[in-house]
Amino acid sequence: MKPIHSILLSLFMVQFSCEDGNSEIIFDENELIAILDADDAAGLDGFDDEGLADLDFEFGLETGGTARVMGDTLSYGEGYRIRFGRQINDIDRTIEFTVNGDTAIGFVTYTITGVFMVQAIDTSNHESIDSMSFTKDFNVMFTRLVRYVNVEHTGNPDGHHWEIDALTPLIGGAGDKVSITTIDIYSFNGSAEVDLLYSFASDGIGDLFIDRESLPTFTAFEPVLVRMTVENGGPEYAIDSTGVGEWCMLRYARNGQHRGRRHLNDTGRFFDTVVNDNVHTGSWRVHGPGVEQVRRVFRSFFDVVDLATLFVEEGGFNTAVWSIPYIVERP
């Protein structure tokens, strides 16, 4: 993958006089970009599948000694199973800044190009089925707002420094066929009931600032229930009698070496209550923060893709993605 490039619309330094007249706020785009690059909550690390992958996979993450069941045994009633994934070739980033006194807003846009790969495997002999395997080029775009504030800092010569105060979910995708309506995350309370932990809705999602110090937080090795409500404008391509025309996945990662993917289903099984109602549900056992770590930031990528993208070579590339940073901490 090529490195991320920052394309600046302008390069300049601006000074703002404080009300007390004793110090100045210095705005330097290069400084703000460096702060963004260093923030674990931002960025795209972990979004790339790096090619073909099982439906469910996880590697490099702390599991607490519990074995994971991967998706390589999933078949589709016709004697085959599939592996699929994105291979990113290039990421282009632009950032536009607006400044108002001691607050700066960065409008971040990512344009990503690459290859989407699908491999069908014969379950009787474990060999690839060439007639059902293919690749297709893709181009996706994501946007996010990042809010910076200038605060007092005695360690700096000018007495101030910039820091990220909040950021919105990273949202985008490709095509106009599928979209995400809501994402709800629940905890299990020891019975058949679940308690809502976090909820995100499409209305205003692009302007929803999440406090950098109050990111969604989960306890390591605890199970949670994830529900994604989506829309599919059709025409829908179904692969079985349920009529479901899209798949939803939760990707979670810290970087390319520590990441996973979990399939959410709409088949009326495994915590999903109604078949093909566009509510995709699945349980997720939260990973640990990492060896010798107590608390750490990761990134989630909630992804819906229509099945024509997955199963039809000429079916286009249609997906919608929301990325929300989160924290994992030990009990």
CATH of the domain at 269: 2.70.50.30
Strands 170-174 and 134-152: antiparallel
Q: How confident is the model at residue 156 (pLDDT cuts 50, 70, 90)?
A: low
Instruction: Give the position of tokens 């992958």.
Output: 53
Residue 310's pLDDT is what?
93
For the chain, give the mean pLDDT.
87
**Cβ(164)–Cβ(191) below 8 Å:** no
Percent of the chain at pLDDT > 90 equals 73
Nearest to 320 by CA among 206, 204, 178, 183: 178
SS3 307: helix
The Cα–Cα gap between 214 and 218 comes to 12
- Domain boundaries, position 15: 5-329
CA distance 49 to 52: 7
Is 257 a residue whose pLDDT tops 90? Answer: yes
- Reading the block at residue 72, the tokens are 């390589």
Tell me the one-letter amino acid at 239: I
What is the C-alpha separation between 283 and 253, in angstroms, rounded? 17
313-324 burial, b at 16+ Cβ within 10 Å, e below that, comes to eebebbbbbbbb
Please tell me which residue, 12 or 213, carries the higher pLDDT value.
213
Which element (helix H / strand E) includes 35?
helix 29-38
pLDDT at 79: 74
Q: Into how many domains does the chain fold?
A: 1
Is the pTM higher than 0.85?
yes
For 94-126, the pLDDT digits (tens) are 999 999 989 999 999 999 999 999 998 888 888
Cα 194 to Cα 225, 252, 280, distances in angstroms: 8, 22, 16
**Is it the case that residue 75 has pLDDT exceeding 90?**
no
Name the least confident of 19-28, 41-50, 95-104, 155-164: 19-28
